Structure 1
Amino acid sequence: MGRMKVALFCVYFVISVFGISEACKCAVRHPQTIICRSDFAIKAKILYEDPVDTLYTRYRVKVLQNFKSGYAPSRRNSRVWIKTASSSAACGVRFQKKSTYVIAGSRDRDGTLRANSCSLNRKVQDMTTFQLFALNKMGYQNNCNCEIRECPHNVCEAGQGCLSPYNNSDCYHRTALCRRSGSTCSWTPNAC
């Protein structure tokens, strides 16, 4: 009977760990796709951290720039809270105090701003010059009507939008945006 309990525990443990790790898998997505599908996108300085409980942490941030009009307090230097799952929890994200980030995420019905490991949470210093240019000049935001299609296993089926082969997606993610010109969308610049 003891072996059976141990075997059942091991099966339960493996399933539990698998479930947690599966919950945090994020699809490879271009920054433009993340910005377009997010409720808010801001450049913010992390002021302080407030652990809510074992699962959630809130961050008080100073908004330095607002990249999407769907985000309510658009005035510069406004202060808001961003709630995240703790970094030890599924899809948690952790910000460093006094650092400046570009953060994109969702907004709850009660107005709570949320970020997770699948949303855009990058230190400004880790972003490319092109990515910052595309954000500041509204390149990503003004081209949300263009679809970016990530191509797993490097198999890109012909169709509308901008195709991003998996083996070269980093180049497109770092140095290009999908821009509409007339009735078609294409990579600009097309250096990848």
Structure 2
Amino acid sequence: MSWTMNRCFVTLAILFLWRVEEMSEACSCSPAHPQQAFCNSDVVIRAKVVGTEEVDSGNDIYGNPIKRIKYDIKQMKMFKGPNQEVDAVYTAPTSAMCGVTLETSGRNEYLITGKLENDGTVHVTLCDFMEQWEDLSATQKKNLVQRYETGCDCKITRCTSVPCMITSPTECLWTDWIIEKLVNGEQAKHFACIKRSDDSCAWYRGAAAPKRDFLDIEDP
């Protein structure tokens, strides 16, 4: 093999490895129903973002500094979280590392879900449920107060292709993607998966308490 061919081979190998590394660093996560996001999160708040800065967050295993984006927030309401006001959330510096980009003028209010770290800070990623407050449906806003929490013992199973089915009476089948080709479809906007008196789970439309046991669908 000639020197030129060797050089081309090495170059291609480097490009391939670089591409594999780039892909391995890409952010990847499955969409979650708002109720799943609520139940799986340590913190769920309504807040305005009023400032941002890049900060150091310790070092990695090689001694290199870990950068984080700190968003200063004004908490409007806490739906779930510690018994203290959250004044900042932290995220990775790039979307490839699941970092979140938020508008910092303070004009927009967000629903923010995230994880509470051991040091008391709140960390958010693209895999968390993050929406502008005005884009949430009225039912979603009401469900944040009580309804989602009552269904945290239920499991929401996302249907991505047919056939799909549940394997347990404590599951609710989430079909927005199949029916509407949307993640934020009717079930995400208007339904919660709640536990009934026989410990099975079913979709419930609306935010008020069901009028009858074993009621699967009820208009608001």
User: TM-score w.r.t. structure 1 length?
Assistant: 0.87
Question: Contact (CA 8 Å) 1:41, 1:71: kept in 2 or not?
Answer: no
State which of 14, 33, 45 in structure 1 corresponds to 2:48. Answer: 45
Gaps of 5+ in 2: 1-5, 57-65, 206-216
- What letter is aligned with 1:72? N
Gaps of 5+ in 1: none
| Cα distance change of structure 1 residues 146 and 88 upon mapping to structure 2, 3 Å threshold | closer
Q: CA deviation at 1:87?
A: 3.4
What is the Cα-based RMSD across aligned positions, in Å?
1.8
Question: In 2, distance between residues paired with 1:177 and 1:88?
Answer: 30
Question: Does 51-60 or 172-181 show the bigger shift?
Answer: 51-60
State which of 31, 34, 41 in structure 2 corresponds to 1:31. Answer: 34
Residues 44-63 of structure 1: CA deviation (Å, up to 9, x unaligned): 11111112158410011111
- What are the within-5 Å matches in structure 2 for residues 108-123 of structure 1? 108-123=117-132
Q: Secondary structure at the match of 2:161?
A: helix
Question: Does 147-156 or 56-65 show the bigger shift?
Answer: 147-156
State which of 13, 17, 24 in structure 2 corresponds to 1:12. Answer: 17
Question: In 2, distance between residues paired with 1:34 and 1:110?
Answer: 22
Task: Tell me if 1:181 matches 2:204.
Answer: no
Residues 15-44 of structure 1: CA deviation (Å, up to 9, x unaligned): 0222122xx111121110111011110001
Task: Tell me if 1:58 matches 2:70.
Answer: yes
User: TM-score w.r.t. structure 2 length?
Assistant: 0.77
Larger Rg: 2
| Cα distance change of structure 1 residues 12 and 50 upon mapping to structure 2, 3 Å threshold | same
- What are the within-5 Å matches in structure 2 for residues 96-175 of structure 1? 96-97=103-104, 98=106, 99-135=108-144, 137-154=145-162, 155-160=164-169, 161-165=171-175, 166-168=177-179, 170-175=185-190
Question: Contact (CA 8 Å) 2:139, 2:190: kept in 1 or not?
Answer: yes
Q: Secondary structure at the match of 1:25?
A: coil
- What letter is aligned with 2:77? Q
Identity of matched residues, %:
25
- What letter is aligned with 2:204? T
| Cα distance change of structure 1 residues 144 and 79 upon mapping to structure 2, 3 Å threshold | closer
| Cα distance change of structure 1 residues 178 and 88 upon mapping to structure 2, 3 Å threshold | closer
